[in-house]
Amino acid sequence: MEVETPAQHRAPPQPCKSAGATRPGGSCGSARLLRNPAIPEEAREFGFGRTGYYLLLAGSAATYQCFFLGTIGAIFFGSALLAGVVMTVLIPVTEVLAVLLFSEPFNGTKGVALALSLWGFVSYFYGEVQTAKANSQPDNNPPNAEHLDP
C-alpha cells in the first residue's frame, strides 16, 4: 500500500485556480458543463429554450466575474470593511429583486435579513460620517511648545 504525502494533497494557489476558472475555455467550468449529463437535460426543459438556458449560464458567469472584480476594487480603493458592507447589502437586494422579478413570496426570514442588512449598512455610514466630522473640525488649542521637535 502506497502512502501519500501531504504535499500530494496540496491545492494550487488561489490565483492559479482563479486564472484557470476564468480564462476562455476555463478548465473548471467548461469541463464540468461538458461532463454533467444533467445540464443538457435541464437545457431542454428550460422555459426559454436551450439557447436561453446557455445564455443565462454565460450571463450569470459574466455577472459573477464583474461582481468579483468590483469587490476587489472596493478593497483596493476603499477597505475590506467597505467591501464587506457592500456585499452584505447586496444579499437582501438580491432577495428583493427575486420577489419583484420572479414573484417569490416575501416571508419573515427575508424581512429580517433585509432589516439587519440595512441596519448594518446605515450604521457603517453613520459611523463614517461621524468620524469625518470629528477629523474635519479644527483644533483651537495652540501646540504645546514642550512637545515640538527642535
Residues in the chain: 150
Residues 4-52: pLDDT tens digits?
555 554 544 555 445 555 555 455 566 666 677 788 888 888 888 889 9
Contact between residue 117 and residue 91 where contact means Cβ atoms under 8 Å apart: yes
Q: What is the pTM of this model?
A: 0.49
Torsion of CA 108, 110, 116, 118, to 10 degrees: -130
Residues 75-114: pLDDT tens digits?
888 888 888 888 877 877 888 888 898 888 888 888 888 8
Domain ranges of the chain: 32-77, 79-136
Of 81, 80, 85, nearest in space to 118 by CA: 85
Contact between residue 59 and residue 66 where contact means Cβ atoms under 8 Å apart: no
Q: What is the CA radius of gyration of the chain?
A: 25
* Residue 67, all three cell numbers: 461582481
